[in-house]
Chains A and B, each alone.
Chain A
Amino acid sequence: MLTADRAIALAIIGLSLYFMSHAIALPIGWNGETGGPGGGAFPFWLSLIMALCAAGVLIRSFGTPDDGLPFFDPETIRSVAAVAIALTATIALTPILGAYVSIVLFLLWYLRVFGGHGWTLTLSLTAATPLFLFFFFEVTLKILLPKGWTEPLFLPLYATFF
């Protein structure tokens, strides 16, 4: 648990420094002409406070005994990582294969492989979801979801519904 606590504190310090390095693009000090701080002041000094507090968490961790509990147990990390990877893959595939193909693939994997559900449930949900999305977002709200390579397949549908 302490290792994870330290790693996260270090990551936050790193993130703060990264924010600060970008914040200095605008003046971070007092702006003499208009009065008040410059445009970079808010992000810069708040990032500094964030870094200092994370450093405080880090320093404190050296004074506390480890509770010996792991941050992740093996089963948790496997299932959480699997879902996180599947989600990332789905988002990555969305602009290429289109939302409808990538979401169908995601549901097939999640329900059948990850969830271990039967084909009846898997296929009915996998079929119903894109239909709902199409009619709710595209037909009702007129918000077009990314289609990628599948764009030509939707042209007849557009012609029907718009």
Chain B
Amino acid sequence: MDVLALLADGFATSLSPVNLMIVIIGVTAGLFIGAMPGLGSVNGVAIVLPLTFIVPPSSAIILLAAIYYGAMYGGAVSSVLLGIPGASTAVATTFDGRPMAQQGKAGLALIAAAVASFVGGTISVVLFTLFAAPLADLALAFGPAEEFALVLLAFTTFVGLGGDDILKTIVMICLGLVLSTVGLDLISGQPRLIFGDMPGFYSGISFLVLAIGVYGVGEVLHTIETSKSAPAVTPARLTFRELADGLRRMNRLWKTMSIGSFLGFFVGMLPAAGATPASLMAYGIAKTTSREPESFGKGNIEGVAAPETANNAASTGSLLPMLTLGIPGSPTTALLLGGMVMWGLVPGPMLFIEQPDFVWGLISSLYTANFAAVAINLALIPLFVWALRMPFTVLCAMVLVLCIVGGFAPSQKMHDVWLIAGFGIAGYLLRKADYPLAPLVLALVLGPLMEKSFRQTLIAEQGDMMAFVERPLSATFIAIAVLFFLLPLIKVWRARSGKAAISPAE
């Protein structure tokens, strides 16, 4: 079979000593970043991205993907040991992970989380392997009209499914898109939005600057606010007997873990959904289908397994549209996409044709990353217990220094460092006022593609707007986009008519 041959070639790349070491380093770094309360995969990737210049582009992406992966495993560690989710994606893991730790079963909870993450990760990587090539083939037929429609669709998922305030979501999408137009107009080549001829804006605003600002500086300010006192770490020991016991118990949770994996994978593909809602949904399903739903929230091992399979599966799922279509499925994959563009690798169907070594190397590295993550995760549990005792003030100081230097390094302009500070403070305030940040980052990354595809289509069709609905694929995407956009309105209307129906009866 074709896919297997390609995958085998990929393993030849990813199992090379250099790449194997990169995966191990990335996964270990990701595990620690994920385990730190407040820092998740997106913060890890944003802060580490400027440091990856040290390795060649294809290895850099494997490194970042490994960090992404490790952080997904690591998120569970602080959920269990501190009762604080290590990242928003591990919120659902605290529901049962924390009670288990309080009952002295912290070790078992961590085993459950690691094994569940492994199962979720592996099933979703297999799904990824199966879907990647066909989806990329389909995407080959995409012209600019389809690209525009698809980006539009990505944004409307935030409006329809994001769950945040709709007006505030649209504000953030528009802000990101407007910031992406700063620099030189891509059709006429004239400078625009350079704010009184400031030279620093001629090259545009890098996604990295916004990401380090929002997810580095902004996150630190947020952490300062939320972590006034050092939390208490629950000690966890791990014996081989516990490990055997944990594996035996996990063996009975195949149904929960399979549901979590499939759910996570498909929910993760949607830009607005992703790992957090997927893990909450998986938890909900596990609870409702359980024979003893009342034991959930009191330390049921199934309540740890379900969200952990789902959030790992979702992180793989969100890589699929990024790699095949060039549309990221989450803020973290948006950063990976930005990084790839920076290194001259343009994600999308052509990548599968032009750089098959790289694509399949990356996909196969997800398999190795999974094995590395579960082994390192279990082996390093004592180290996590120690690392989590690190005071926030030390962690935050280090992150801020990395933000300053890491922001300076790619462009070597102080202009970018100032922007990082500005975006960080503004992002912190906006987040506090319930403005969602994920659409902002996605919009900045996708903005150039959206504008280019929109204007290319219109130039090709002599300004005929019908071009977007005359092609069947793009018409379908636009129809779904309109549906997502109208979804909140339909909900409001149904809620109102529902109320109207009830109130006369009262």
| Chain B 125-174 residues near chain A, CB threshold 8 A | 165, 167-168, 170-171, 174
For B418, the closest partner residue in chain A by CB is: A91
Q: How many A residues are at the interface, by size bracket? A: 35 or more
> Count of B residues near A, CB < 8 Å?
63
Check A39 against B185 for contact (C-beta < 8 Å): yes
| Chain A 19-52 residues near chain B, CB threshold 8 A | 19, 22-23, 25-26, 30-31, 34-40, 42-43, 46-47, 49-50
Which applies to chain B's interface (DSSP): helix, strand, loop or mixed?
Answer: helix
| Chain A 66-114 residues near chain B, CB threshold 8 A | 71, 75-76, 79-80, 83-84, 87-88, 90-91, 94-95, 99, 103, 106-107, 110-111, 114
Check B397 against A111 for contact (C-beta < 8 Å): yes
Q: A39-B185, A115-B394 are in contact. List 17 more A-B contacts (CB 8 A).
A: A22-B195, A40-B185, A40-B192, A42-B177, A43-B181, A57-B167, A57-B168, A80-B224, A83-B224, A103-B401, A111-B394, A117-B393, A133-B405, A137-B405, A137-B409, A141-B409, A143-B409
For B426, the closest partner residue in chain A by CB is: A11
Check A26 against B421 for contact (C-beta < 8 Å): no
A46 to chain B, nearest CB (A): 5
* Residues of chain B having any CB pair with chain A under 8 Å: 51, 53-54, 165, 167-168, 170-171, 174-175, 177-178, 181, 185, 187-188, 190, 192-195, 217, 220-221, 224-225, 228, 391, 393-394, 396-398, 400-401, 404-405, 408-409, 412, 414, 417-418, 421, 424-425, 428-430, 432-433, 435, 451, 454-455, 457-464
Check A145 against B224 for contact (C-beta < 8 Å): no
Check B425 against A84 for contact (C-beta < 8 Å): yes
A140 close to chain B: CB less than 8 A: yes
A136 close to chain B: CB less than 8 A: yes
Check B193 against A103 for contact (C-beta < 8 Å): no
B242 to chain A, nearest CB (A): 34
6 A–B pairs (Cβ distance < 8 Å), ordered by A: A35-B464, A39-B187, A46-B181, A54-B171, A87-B404, A117-B393
Check B188 against A35 for contact (C-beta < 8 Å): no
**Residues of chain B within 8 A of A88, CB atoms compared:** 421
Check A22 against B220 for contact (C-beta < 8 Å): no
Check B433 against A43 for contact (C-beta < 8 Å): no
**Residues of chain B within 8 A of A34, CB atoms compared:** 187, 459
Check B414 against A46 for contact (C-beta < 8 Å): no
Check A115 against B405 for contact (C-beta < 8 Å): no
Check A39 against B188 for contact (C-beta < 8 Å): yes
